[in-house]
Structure 1
Amino acid sequence: MLNEIKKDAQTRMAKSIDALRHDLVKVRTGRASTALVDSIKVNYYGSDMPLSQVASVAVSDARTLTITPWEKQMVGPVEKAILASDLGLTPNTAGTVIRLNLPALTEERRKELSKHVHGEGENAKVAVRNIRRDANHQVKELLKDKQITEDDASRCETDIQKITDSAIKDVDEVVKAKEQELMAI
């Protein structure tokens, strides 16, 4: 019973860290990445489709993404979707190839993005702590129902705290790595 609580807490904390990594991929550094356009939806014959399903996306150099729609008539809708997204990039079209040039980030913008990354990290830490609280609550419920001893409860809470400390350390490492990536010129 206690092992299930610990495993559940560890799994949920790992998912929180994965969610943080996924969210931080969308933060634009000075470097081109196909993940920047993953969240863009394109109107494809009346339904919204992810950009990756209507076009090939490739990194042509450090600051340029090339998007090649599978169908010639999809160039316009893809351009519209990029302009409507919150990327703040203007597509350059040459025939059926769309190029996105990523401008170099200013020092002010880097610091602003660094604060955003730090805030996302804090949100992930709050999520991890909430998971710890839930796990400890489950342990206390078992103790209250006299299904476990006080020693077992104490040991389990100590183990849950170790799992939490490890997860928070992982969050800090993810945030630190992203901040270093942002500050690199």
Structure 2
Amino acid sequence: MSHSVVVLASSNAGKLRELNRILAPLDVTLHSQAQYQVPDVPEDGLSFVENAIIKARAAAAHTGLPAIADDSGLEVDYLNGAPGIHSARYSGEGDAGNNARLLRDLAGVPDEQRGARYQCVLVYMRHATDPNPLVCQGSWEGRILTAGQGEGGFGYDPLFFLEEYGCSAAELDAAIKNRISHRAHASALLLAALQKQT
């Protein structure tokens, strides 16, 4: 895979920076799909894997390049895995609204029933009709607090408590988060799999 260009099926600049850093050993240049005016596609799959494949396939079809897509979210045990694939749109009111809705949905639920995990699925497709896309999944265990803590991170990070660190994901040092998060785990698997293909 030397000197190849891969399109990231996202316009998120933070995600682009993070994945470019992770994939640096491969001599791959990752470009945002925004550079190619890839239209957004409906994420109407029933799982993180399906949604990531939908996004990667659309980016590969539009650009003619290999594509990487990720789909990620939060699963809460008490809510039978919700918000899951709907994590970003849980309340329809952005991060603050999503966190407020999660706290409402878990009102009065004791700590031991507030287990949760972040999930991240990364998909790599060599071309739009790739019959065997590379699928890498990482998860990150925690529990949901009764009130937000910390200013860092994004999404549900202020409510996502990590027992081993005694703090929320929003209070965690960014360098540590980038080493232990669900996206870090999935990215490490993707890097290892792509290195085998070189």
TM-score range, shorter chain: under 0.3
Normalising by structure 1, report the TM-score. Answer: 0.24
Name which one, 1 or 2, has greater alpha-carbon Rg: 1
Q: Which structure dedicates a bigger proportion of its chain to strand?
A: 2
Which one scores higher on RCO, CA 8 angstroms, separation ≥ 6? 1
Larger fraction in helix: 1
TM-score w.r.t. length of structure 2: 0.23
